A and B are shown apart, each in its own frame.
Chain A
Amino acid sequence: MYLLYLNKIGMVAADTTRTKYYLNELIRNNLFPAYVLLLLNCDAKSLPGQDGAGSEKELIKLLKSSGIKYDIAPNSDINSNEVLKVISNKVETVFIFSGFGGVLLGDNILNSGKKFLHIHGGYLPDYKGSTAIYYSLINENTIGASSMFLTKEIDCGPVLLRKKFLPPKNRLEIDHIYDSEARAKVLIETLECYVESGSFNFELENNKGGETFYIIHPVLKHLSILQGEVK
């Protein structure tokens, strides 16, 4: 089997269901990040993006079995000096970012000289911000995902690739399955384009405008889920 190690591409990954999705898809498509830095939650309480216990062991098992080099970060905070030091010292220039929900990258890490490839759960620039997937389901009955390099302004970085998908059949698992699935598809396609052309090409460099959404209220969340069961 031909395995493609992405020499310049690493990954910073929190132990979340999304990371599990990303890694499974990367491995399934023979696109192996050269290095993974795992951010583990040391608290008993789940952090945003985590769905129950045991994901940490699963991730480590997955990395070991596929032979991907990895380290466990000194702490779970991507913005800490300790994590910054680890990332700065790596040779990889681009890191796929899959952090805990709601975490934003601070100036220090953004100015570290590394690029952070993030897959946003929304079609940019129309759907910026949080839980955009639910808003697009209500507005146009689609879900979207877009790959971009992170910048200081939230969801305003240049867009590499963006796609819209049909609504999921079972809308009860949007947070931990379909959102991750859509993002993983865009991640894979973005990396395939990179491998094919040898560089990152932008679909939308000027990612200005659009609408910024905030965490969806449970009433609207229920609406977007129940719309899948219209009379």
Chain B
Amino acid sequence: MVNYEYTEVNRLEKPHNYMYTSYFGVDFFRSYFDNRLKNIEKFKARKDIQNTETIDTYFCTASTLKLEIGQKLLPFNFKESIENIISFNLKNRIFTEKLLTSLLVSQLNNKNKKLIKEWLDLLVQRFEVTKKIYEIYLVGFRKGSGDSGVVRLYWIFALSLALYYAETKNIKYLNTLLKVNDLLCSLDNDLMRKIPTQGLVLVLSVEVEGVQLLAKNLEGVSFVFK
């Protein structure tokens, strides 16, 4: 069986550049689907999940409802203040967590679509070039600063990509989602103790469904993935 090498080692420590990857035929899909199934099971089997952030649980539920029945944002009342996406400006230093939560709320609300794409594209560009998401981006959003190992940021980014791909079907975002999910799947469970299981399963499910849909007419690629 073909090896799915993209999650084999910690991709925060050893990023993959995905350049000139080899072709393995239909068998590659078998190893890909197998990998994702194993990781969903791995996430579900986690026993040491710590208290997840209320807002993250909320994001999971709201995203699931949006993806499944198209429901808009549920009412919420958090102690954390979520900034409006219009308040972010490239002339300022950007705190990625604030940007990502604001982006998600806008996506769940179906508001500010132009700004959603602009900011998501900037994040995609930064991730694709460096394979990292930094805690802070300096003025101009080119140079990252602070910790680039905050797993929660990668997960929220994956959720944002999943929502955007589900809405637009633009494979550019599925492409980055695949890479961010490779990274998440490459990490040990203990690095993801604060991320809700439902949230990890959700980002992988959207990705796999997207791939299945694109592969539905391909000879030999008909894997049942529940």
Contact = CB atoms under 8 A, between A and B. Distances in A.
User: Do chains A and B stick together as partners?
Assistant: yes
Interface of A: 48, 101-102, 135, 138-139, 172, 175, 211-223, 225-227, 229-231
B87 interface: no
A101 B20 contact: yes
B141 interface: no
A102 B29 CA distance: 27
B23 A138 contact: no
A132 to B, nearest CB: 10
Nearest to B217: A230
B167 interface: no
Contacts of B179: 217
B28 A213 contact: no
Contacts, number: 78
Interface in B1-17: 6, 17
A223 B218 contact: yes
B19 A218 contact: no
B121 interface: yes
Nearest 8 A/B pairs, CB to CB? A214-B128, A217-B178, A218-B21, A226-B218, A215-B18, A231-B219, A230-B217, A217-B175
Contacts of A211: 170, 172
A138 B172 CA distance: 11
Interface of B: 6, 17-21, 23-26, 28-29, 32, 121, 124-125, 128, 170-172, 174-176, 178-179, 182, 211, 214-215, 217-219, 221
B218 A229 contact: yes
B220 to A, nearest CB: 8
B175 A223 contact: no
Contacts of A212: 121, 125, 172
A220 B26 contact: no
Contacts of A213: 172, 175
B219 A218 contact: no
A208 to B, nearest CB: 14
Given A211-B170, A223-B211, A218 B218 contact: no
Given A135-B172, A138-B171, A212-B121, A172 B23 contact: yes
Given A219-B211, A229-B219, A214 B23 contact: no
